[in-house]
Amino acid sequence: MRTLHGWERTSFVLLHVYVLGVCGVVLGAFTVQFLGKEIPCPLCILQRMAMLLAAVGPMFIINRSSIHGSDSKSDLSTGFGMSILAALVGLFISGRQVLLHIIPGDPGYGGTVFGFHLYTWAFTVFSTILLASGITLVMSRYMTISTHVGRPRVASRLTAWVLGLVIAANAISVFFESGTTWFLPDDPTNYELIEEFNEFRRHRAAERLRHVSEGQLNLGTDDRLGFIDPEDSEVSVDQPVDSRTP
């Protein structure tokens, strides 16, 4: 494995900082979500997606240069091109949400961090990504990224893992938020999956109570899930079926 020197090393380290920085921003949004108990709206989720997709670009360059050792210049262009495209989409989404709440007197969506709402911060992050990617592409003739072939460094593998875990955590969080419905609610107030599970349990308990009242269920053998306590049930199983009220 070749040792990196000078600017080459700095560029390589900066790519890792780029990916980890984006992951840090998304983890910050997670902190607001769970510690601040603020459920993200669909536009917030879309901004997270665009942000993580923008981080795939530098991850592409890191992987190509450290594992496959291909031509670094074309990979540099491809990677930062990916970042620019994703950041452009993110800029549109966050810009749309900023404009949605820009009217004076509008309290905005959710709380603020250092005086700005999260979507305003997202707009700043996407602008920074665009600026950084543009400058890097302009300066690319003076840049060389590592072109060795071999096992990726520990830092590169760690960065890939962090990015993967942040994406997976977002997928799980969003699944809890949307439940089994196709799309997220416009103004979410709770985690739909938990609500649906609770609703399912209530429905099952009501169904079983109804079966008991109709005399179709033997409480001793059929109540395997333990939803029904025979002592709490309003209907006695010893009572004749005809005399039970539905």
Partner 1 sequence: MVAASIFILILVTVFMLHRPKPKMALIFFGVSMTCITLLFLHHAIDDLGLSF
- Tell me which residues touch partner 1 (CB under 8 A): 42-43, 45-46, 49-50, 52-53, 56, 59-60, 63-64, 67-68, 75, 78, 82, 85-86, 89, 92-93, 96, 160, 163-164, 167-168, 170-172, 174-175, 177-178, 180-184, 186
Start-end of H helices in the chain: 6-34, 42-63, 72-100, 118-138, 154-178, 192-213, 219-222
For partner 1, the closer CB: 7 or 161: 161
Q: CA geometry: angle at 142 spanning 163 and 79, to 5°?
A: 30
Q: How far is the CB of 75 from partner 1 (least distance, A)?
A: 8
Q: How far is the CB of 53 from partner 1 (least distance, A)?
A: 6
For partner 1, the closer CB: 49 or 217: 49
Q: How far is the CB of 177 from partner 1 (least distance, A)?
A: 8
For partner 1, the closer CB: 163 or 217: 163
For partner 1, the closer CB: 69 or 215: 69
Q: How far is the CB of 175 from partner 1 (least distance, A)?
A: 4
Question: Does residue 129 sit in helix, strand or coil?
Answer: helix
Q: Which residue has the tokens 């452009």?
A: 88
Question: What are the structure tokens assigned to 109, written together?
Answer: 């969506």
CA distance linking residue 195 with residue 215, whole number of Å: 30
Q: In Å, how far from its chain's centre is CA 217? A: 44
